[in-house]
Amino acid sequence: MPTPKAMLLAKGVRRGLDEIDAALAAFGAASPPLRVTAPPTLASRWLAPRLSGYLRCEIELDVSTEIRNPSDFDVAIRTGAGDWPGLRAFRLFPVQLTPLLAPSLAAALEPLTPEMLATLPLLPHPDWERWFVSAIGRVPPGLRFARVEYPNHELNVNAACAGEGVALVPPGFFEPIVKSGVLIAPFDETLDGPDWHFALIRDDDGRSGPKEFCDWLYEQSRMISAALDTPDAWADA
């Protein structure tokens, strides 16, 4: 029988796939599909809302959130340092992380400071200590982490919305939730990099379709880079 955690994961992934399917369904296709793979949160929160700006009637995309072998995709969006053997990697935009939490969780700690944040349950993330060092120059003692570790940003944000703890996630992906007031982003401090989001194509793939899609991804990433005040980074890693 599926565990509650497994059911929550399946629900989050299904939501992302449904959003992608809805974006693709409005367009017909007459050519073989371009196989695109991306992480679930990036696929649902960043890629899916933009697909209507790329798709034309003769283009079909097969978008998956599975981690596929290079032989099973035409374009992959991945997060890392850019060192994937056999693949040509193009920087899109840097990974940024900032705390998000439910207003009810923050209400008792006003004014909320990073030191006060450290007394709240933190949803597990490997970069929490780096964020505190970036924000206040040190790691506060006695950090408390929530008992459940979720496998992606989408589920961390769902848990934060439920008041389970503070999520450390990319603010740009969840801006609508913050604007709605369901979660708050109490600090200007963000943890930048060192990882980036990359578009990957195979070294031996000389077709125009994958590169054209990467060109479009780059144009979309330039909007984010301008907002983040990061340099134009469309170059091989």
Q: What is the CATH number of the domain that holds 161?
A: 3.40.190.10
- The confidence band for 111, taking pLDDT boundaries of 50, 70 and 90, is confident
pLDDT for the residue numbered 71: 81
Residue type, position 191, single letter: L
Look at residue 237 and tell me if it is in a domain.
no
Whose CA is closest to 129, among 121, 144, 139, 119?
139
User: Pairing mode, if any, of strands 75-80 and 144-145?
Assistant: unpaired
Q: Do residues 179 and 212 share a domain? A: no
What is the pTM for the complete model shown?
0.77
Bridge partners (DSSP) of residue 198 are 78, 91
> For the chain, what is the radius of gyration of the CA atoms?
19
pLDDT for the residue numbered 12: 56
Q: Do residues 37 and 113 share a domain? A: no
User: Residue 52: is its pLDDT beyond 70?
Assistant: yes
Look at residue 233 and tell me if it is in a domain.
no
User: Pairing mode, if any, of strands 121-122 and 87-100?
Assistant: unpaired
Q: Coil, strand, or helix at residue 121?
A: strand
pLDDT for the residue numbered 61: 83
**Mean pLDDT, residues 111-133:** 96
Q: Do residues 77 and 102 share a domain? A: no
What is the C-alpha to C-alpha distance for residues 179 and 181, in angstroms, rounded to an integer? 5
Q: Do residues 55 and 74 share a domain? A: yes
Look at residue 151 and tell me if it is in a domain.
yes
CA dihedral sign of residues 9, 14, 15, 20: positive
Look at residue 235 and tell me if it is in a domain.
no
Q: Do residues 89 and 109 share a domain? A: no
Residue 164 belongs to domain spanning: 96-191
Q: Do residues 86 and 107 share a domain? A: no
Burial class of residue 26 (count of CB atoms within 10 Å of its CB; 0-12, 13-18, 19+): exposed
What's the gap between Cα 214 and its chain centre? 17
Look at residue 234 and tell me if it is in a domain.
no
User: Residue 85: is its pLDDT beyond 80?
Assistant: yes
Residue 128 has phi, psi (to 5 degrees) of -60, -45
**Mean pLDDT, residues 103-111:** 89
Q: Do residues 15 and 66 share a domain? A: yes
The CA distances from residue 93 to 147, 193, 217, in Å, are 31, 9, 10
Q: Coil, strand, or helix at residue 155?
A: helix
Q: Do residues 62 and 177 share a domain? A: no
pLDDT for the residue numbered 66: 81
Number of domains into which the chain is organized: 2
Q: Do residues 57 and 143 share a domain? A: no
Beta carbons of 167 and 123 less than 8 angstroms apart:
yes
Q: Which residue has the higher pLDDT, 46 or 19?
A: 46
**Mean pLDDT, residues 210-226:** 84
**Mean pLDDT, residues 116-143:** 96
User: Residue 234: is its pLDDT beyond 70?
Assistant: no
Q: Do residues 57 and 137 share a domain? A: no
Look at residue 236 and tell me if it is in a domain.
no
Q: Which residue has the higher pLDDT, 124 or 223?
A: 124
**Mean pLDDT, residues 4-10:** 51
